[in-house]
Structure 1
Amino acid sequence: MKPVLHAALFASLLFWTHAWQATPCDAADPPNFIVFLADDLGWGDLGCYGHPKIQTPNLDQFASEGVRFTQAYAACGVCSPSRSSILTGRTPYRNGVWRWLPVGNPAHLRESEVTIPESLQPLGYQTMHSGKWHLNGYFNSDEQPQPDDHGYDWWFATQNNASPSHKDPINFVRNRKEVGPLKGFSAPLVAEEASTWLKQQRDPERPFFITVWTHEPHLPIESDPKFQQLYSEIENPGVRQHHGNVTQLDHAFGNLMKTVDELGLRDNTFVIFTSDNGPEGSGKGNLRKPESQQNRTWGSTGGLRGRKRDSHEGGIRVPGIVRWPGKIQPGTVSEVPIIGSDIFTTVLQIAGAPVPTDRTIDGVNLLPACEGKSLERPVPLFWRTHIAPPASHAAMRIGQWKIVADQKLEKFQLYQIAKDWKEEHDLADEMPEKLAEMKAKFLEVWEGVENEGPKQWWINQPDGGKRKRAPKLSDGTDATGDFDVVKGATVTASDLGYLLDTDQSEGFALQKLDTPIQESATFRIQYRSASDNVTKNACFCFGAVPLNDRLHKAGTLIGMGRHGAFDGSWANVGIGAGKQDDFDPNATFDATVTIDLDHGKLILSVNDTRIEHQLPSNLESVQYVGIYAKKTKSEFSKITRVK
């Protein structure tokens, strides 16, 4: 299929050539990012996608200001997997979120996955999430990673749906604290949180990355009467509720964009709007129970085959609109296929963050598609939904060709999407050679995904063990004025240099480097115990961001007679590296720590002991160095950089 591009793009060819030859990110004025995700919004549910009745004036206007994709895809036919793919750039079976996640499910987005916010934090980005999370089964619990474990500085979220409905929800959590009952409707509340953060919490001198993931129009649907009133001529109350819910979503999106404009952020903010999968239900409601939730499932696929959960187009093709003033020509329509996992690679490359090379990244940079240029994909578009209809369990698309496989991988369908976008004519029998070609490639991709998939999701962790989340640390105090960040501790002057008091928890004090370490560096530090208790320890620490979970420690566990290195919380000491040693617990230890990012390791030398510890593969730079201890008092010298 030849890409089709509209809206006078040809006349601006010179502008486009110049734009894409420019560097991805102006270091002096790095771009901001907003990823706005609707829930169960069908391909045909917006006015700009042809719905004859639903009013979406804000999104229609937004589409006229950027590029509207006619072939945007979610990465899966259900919610949790699609969300995981946006944050990691990987097809969901690779990253561990192989199914939608009910409360109590053991699956979750693996801590070893590299996410967009984690990748942007070392570049100085502030990160914020508002809305549905749905990437773990144990929400707001130490049992599984939470949004802050995946790189979010600020979050306001629910595990899955707003409860008891979109109206007056009671189950939101903000930064690990339950919010309690709220007044209002879900999408406006979620968008308002993001707007408030932009106005009050963010540092205007730093760029930001925000994900706003609404619950609308997922069940249980409750719409503000003022939006239902727009459809008063429709007799069916379920249709009024559904259509009003989409307009409610549109209104919330418009309010957030208004905030962006009021703060003067429009010109330097990349915004993408999309959905996690196709619409719920049959699209015909339940006329026998007009007031039931089942009668509120009136989402439109725009004539596509299948709906939510399906690997046919209606389950996975969704709205996709991108605006980036000065970079994307207003009013553009592109027929180039894109997918949710592309968001990861696109954001990282625009921002200038490294795209991981130690794992399969399925997503590609979608910016050329904004011009109507086809995208070169190392891995074809691929879908696999665990609760799909048996005959359409998985699918793959290459160019205009799409293959659909049954659950047993025995029966295959073949469609030429360019000519048959409704998937009405199965060409498997008519074109056996093309079917064989597509089948061979499909099975190759299937095997690659399977090898990284859910059979091992729980063991794909640094050091071969499951890292435990660090406890939330309160702000500390620094009486010396030498540290930029102090958490869980107090710092005062001592004979050696500094006394770090962490009697109540683990804690640290960090200094921000003028220039981040991107290759290697060696530091020297002295330390000793200043505690009369059995618990005695002292460590040098470092990391890309000032979060306990993301710091790496190397030092002496004095009370245990051991030197060691580990990542994150003290709870991970057991899965770090270490050696026993016979030393005087009252001695002053002289340690050197080499951070070797080129080879992904740290080397600790203390007394006559040398320890090597493998660093996580996603540690690309070090911005902070400092001192750390756990439930004790320890003295440290000043940190000296040797080389």
Structure 2
Amino acid sequence: MMRLVVGLLSSTLFCVVAASAAEKPNIILLFADDISARELPPYGSSVWSPPEGGDTSDMKYRAKTPVLNRLAEEGCWVTTAWATTVCSPSRAMMMTGRYAHRHKWWTNGDIGEVQRRDGVYEKWPLYESSPLQIGHIARQAGYGTYWAGKTQMVGDLQKFGFDEGCFTPGNLSDKDNPYTDFKHTYVNREGQRVLLNVDTGEPADTYMQHGWYWYPHVRLMNHPDSDQTFQWWPNTPESRESFGPHTYGPDVELEFVFDYMDRQHAADAPFFIYHCSHLGHDAFDWFHPDVNTKWPGAPIVKWDGSAYERVEPQISGDEGVYDTHGTVSEPGIHNHVNYLDYQMWLYRKKLDELGIADNTIVIFCADNGTSGYGKHQSDRQKGTHVPLIIYAPGMTKQGRQDILVNLADFLPTIAEIVGVEIPADYPIDGESLWPFLTTDKTTHRDWIYAYRGADQLIRSQYLMRDGWGRWWDVREQPEDLISYPQIDDWNDALELHRSERERLMKIMAPFDMHATEHDAPGTPPNPNAVRGKKSKSKKTNKSVK
């Protein structure tokens, strides 16, 4: 297997606790995209998202997740796990174990900059602000590391601690894919900048994107059959022959993940899979370019009570006129969640096939709230509340766990699992969840924190402050997971809440650096910078429930 010694940390930065390969559990972290906790049945919400976005209680739009349900029962599921409100800062928190006051990834479109010696300003890469990340930790512990799916990162993808990768496609700047025209480009028409659907040659009323679902853009990193660092897939005569509009990006990702697992198992070496699926993210529907579909359909999967059957996609047509021949599901995030459940079933089958199910930790999580409901939202925990299901052999916890977890907790948790000691002089903001999962501990942490640009959110088991500065009584969980009682008269508030508000404000204060330390240390403000927009004020959202 090809291993590039790129961006490795100094051996003095942290030490690896000695352990034989057989004692090291494999780790699979399936990190879904834009999926609120309410979309998953174990969370029991009375409301979820319909295909057009928003709220519904219509059962036909309720996801069906028998495999994730079982995983949550045999392992555990966390009632209150927080990400940030959108992709980039959540991924930064996950990978670094830090909040934005350290890594400066405040929100999408609002990322701290660094000034280079030539005076040019660039977004500050995470491997510079935070040189100890989950990939580095696993690699230094002797794990093979694989990164699949979405990256949402800037800089050199080889410097994040992953040996290999399958990206769909990695960055929007990767425009030279010769194998698919499911992509957008900007053109000048009569003095106007117009976004064009390359497949049809017609303007597209959407945002700039590649096809990461059907007819996907796929790049491989450090694939062992090539001497290239990055290459476009399909990369063989056979794969080019079979590639077409029927090819589904999430399937391609999993195929390469499984190939990597096979190779690591054959080498008797542990693996860490960081699978950042696009599933859950809204997207342009290339099969129906004139229809305002939020979540394009997925391959149809059917559960018979013990196994899944997948209908092989059959797609014909071109240039925006396609026939899916009844092999693609209806639009809707519920079908994306259903497909994630199918992929988790494939993961579990693969682990059984390799005989390593009893030595593999499986984690299912998401990066922020659902589009059209929580994504970008600082209102209560709409944007931050994500599902978290964990299965680890030997766990002492099963089923529902009423604890608080931050995405920042994953880095110290993985470090403890693989036997890496984080130096005392390397500050992180997360706390290892491993002691809670494997001992008789009844609590994990007593507050969690999130951000969206200058907005700050924090909550404990009793009280929550959202990004609009409003306070909420969160002692009991409402049926829709969001309609908490608001506290607006502090003279009439419980003493418990008054004292808790004072404590949470003190905790939050050191993180409030958006206005004062927005960029990399020593970087003067960029005179041409455009900061991310602040969320709407409370005054314009009084009626939100």
CA RMSD of aligned residues (A): 3.6
Which residues of 2 match residues 13-412 of structure 1 at below 5 A? 28-50=22-44, 52=59, 53-74=62-83, 76-100=84-108, 106-113=123-130, 114-136=132-154, 144-146=155-157, 148-157=158-167, 158-159=169-170, 163-175=210-222, 176-180=229-233, 183=244, 184-200=247-263, 204-220=267-283, 221-227=295-301, 240-282=331-373, 306=374, 308-328=376-396, 331-370=398-437, 373-375=441-443, 377=445, 380-386=447-453, 393-406=455-468, 411-412=469-470
- More displaced stretch, 95-104 vs 203-212: 95-104
Which residues of 2 match residues 514-533 of structure 1 at below 5 A? none
CA contact (8 A) 1:336 1:372 kept: no
- 1:418 pairs with 2:476: yes
Superposed displacement of residue 454, structure 1: 8.8
Superposed displacement of residue 424, structure 1: 3.2
CA distance in 2, matches of 1:178, 1:454: 41
Paired residue type of 2:271: F
Superposed displacement of residue 127, structure 1: 1.1
Superposed displacement of residue 203, structure 1: 5.7
Paired residue type of 1:226: I
CA contact (8 A) 1:118 1:152 kept: yes
Alpha-carbon distance change, 394 to 224 in structure 1, aligned in 2, over 3 angstroms: same
Which residues of 2 match residues 477-488 of structure 1 at below 5 A? none
Alpha-carbon distance change, 357 to 450 in structure 1, aligned in 2, over 3 angstroms: farther
CA contact (8 A) 2:368 2:383 kept: yes
Superposed displacement of residue 278, structure 1: 1.0
Q: TM-score, normalising length from structure 1?
A: 0.55
Alpha-carbon distance change, 201 to 326 in structure 1, aligned in 2, over 3 angstroms: closer
CA contact (8 A) 2:451 2:467 kept: no
Q: TM-score, normalising length from structure 2?
A: 0.64
Q: Deviations over 1:210-236 (max 9, x none)?
A: 101100110103333424999xxxxxx
CA contact (8 A) 1:39 1:277 kept: yes
SS in 1 for 2:378: coil
Q: Deviations over 1:307-333 (max 9, x none)?
A: 55335222211111111123345x522
CA contact (8 A) 2:89 2:100 kept: yes
Structure 1 unaligned blocks of 5 or more: 1-22, 137-143, 231-236, 283-305, 388-392, 462-643
Paired residue type of 1:267: D
Paired residue type of 2:461: G
Q: Deviations over 1:1-48 (max 9, x none)?
A: xxxxxxxxxxxxxxxxxxxxxx99777521111111000112122233
Superposed displacement of residue 346, structure 1: 1.0
CA contact (8 A) 1:383 1:396 kept: yes
Superposed displacement of residue 130, structure 1: 0.7
CA contact (8 A) 1:126 1:202 kept: no
CA contact (8 A) 2:329 2:335 kept: no
Superposed displacement of residue 433, structure 1: 5.7
Q: Deviations over 1:453-494 (max 9, x none)?
A: 993643489xxxxxxxxxxxxxxxxxxxxxxxxxxxxxxxxx
Alpha-carbon distance change, 460 to 78 in structure 1, aligned in 2, over 3 angstroms: farther
- More displaced stretch, 84-93 vs 439-448: 439-448
Superposed displacement of residue 381, structure 1: 1.1
CA distance in 1, matches of 2:124, 2:279: 24
Alpha-carbon distance change, 24 to 313 in structure 1, aligned in 2, over 3 angstroms: farther
CA distance in 2, matches of 1:449, 1:145: 28
Percent pairwise identity: 25
SS in 1 for 2:421: coil
CA distance in 1, matches of 2:92, 2:126: 7
CA contact (8 A) 2:218 2:249 kept: no
CA contact (8 A) 2:405 2:444 kept: no
CA distance in 2, matches of 1:165, 1:82: 20
CA distance in 2, matches of 1:311, 1:25: 45
Paired residue type of 2:255: E
Structure 2 unaligned blocks of 5 or more: 1-16, 46-58, 112-120, 173-208, 223-228, 235-242, 284-294, 304-308, 310-327, 524-545
CA distance in 1, matches of 2:412, 2:426: 13
CA contact (8 A) 2:144 2:264 kept: no
CA contact (8 A) 2:77 2:390 kept: yes
Superposed displacement of residue 107, structure 1: 4.1
CA contact (8 A) 2:378 2:466 kept: no
CA distance in 1, matches of 2:341, 2:251: 9
Paired residue type of 1:250: D
Superposed displacement of residue 440, structure 1: 4.0
CA distance in 2, matches of 1:270, 1:116: 15
Superposed displacement of residue 443, structure 1: 4.1
Higher relative CO (CA 8 A, sep ≥ 6), structure 1 or 2?
2
Alignment partner, residue 492 of structure 1: none
Paired residue type of 1:88: T
Question: Counting strand residues as a fraction of each chain, which structure ranks higher?
Answer: 1
Q: Deviations over 1:110-136 (max 9, x none)?
A: 424110221232221211111111122
SS in 2 for 1:224: coil
Paired residue type of 1:277: N
Aligned residues between the structures:
392
